[in-house]
Structure formats: C-alpha cells, structure tokens
Amino acid sequence: MNYQLTTLRTTSNDPLFTKLFDQLEFELELMYPSVQEEYKQFNLYDEPINVILLFHNGQAVGCGAFNRLRKTNWAELKRIFILQQFRGRGYSEILINALEKWASELHYDSCVLETGIRMHAAMSAYRKMAYQIVPNFQPYLDKPHSICMRKKLASVV
C-alpha cells in the first residue's frame, strides 16, 4: 500500500496540534487518573513553542514539540503523540528525528524528555533512538511517576 508521510514545522498555536494535544491528554488521564491533573501545568506555555505535525496522506496523525529547558542549552521534547491506529509503524521515530533535526539547527546541544513510568513502549522507542535515563530535572525532581531521558545531538554544520 502506498502512502505519503510529511511533516510540518509550526507552533503550539496550530489548531491541528491542539486537537492532537487534547487526544493525548485524554489518554494520559486514563493512564494516570490520580496525577495527570498535577502534570497539566508542565505543558502550559507563555509563548508558542516549536511543533512538528506528522501527516499520513494529508491527515494529521502525530505531533511533537520542544522548548528550551530552563537555564540549559537543551531542547525539552514535549507532547510526542501518534494516534493509536497509526502506532507500530515507526512514525514516532520519524517525528522524533524531525524534532532533533530542528533542535540541532537551532544549536541546542541535547534533547531531553520526561515520560511516565507506565509508558513502556515509548521508553523502548526512546532507548532505540539513543536516549538514556538521567536524573529527573526540574520540574520533575520529586515526581515518582516521571522518568527523564537525554540524548546529545550531533552538531549541524
């Protein structure tokens, strides 16, 4: 079956991102009903952040974002999400590669992320992409449901 995958660089103001963001929040609330409300504050931004949308035959099927982690030169990857019916196809790797490329172009030296302790498939995918578990960074220092990971980026010439 032939299909076309494309990505689009945009911002967190994009309504397609908002729609996918809301679907991700719904899934996380089912997975972490007792703590997800507390985590919502970590995904609010004063200004729009960088977003990549992933399209399958013109349909937005995934998203990911990043912003600068406070007081570092690290891009914190946020809101990485693929619609359930499109999972298991390697789309998250395509999305993360696009986020890393953009972050590298903006001269970040690492990508970091926070994921949940129940997100086994996500952690496996991150490990395959050379992310390593690191001590939790702010604001996740005292969050037992969080696992933080980091990958050093290659410099863009």
Q: Inform me whether the pLDDT recorded for 157 exceeds 60.
A: no
Looking at residue 1, the DSSP 8-state letter turns out to be: -
Strand-pair partners of 55: 6, 60
Q: Inform me whether the pLDDT recorded for 53 exceeds 80.
A: yes
Binning the chain into helix, strand and coil, the percentages to the nearest 5 are 35, 30, 35
Tens of pLDDT, residue by residue over 87-143, are 999 999 999 999 999 999 999 999 999 999 988 989 999 999 999 999 999 999 999
Model confidence, pTM: 0.91
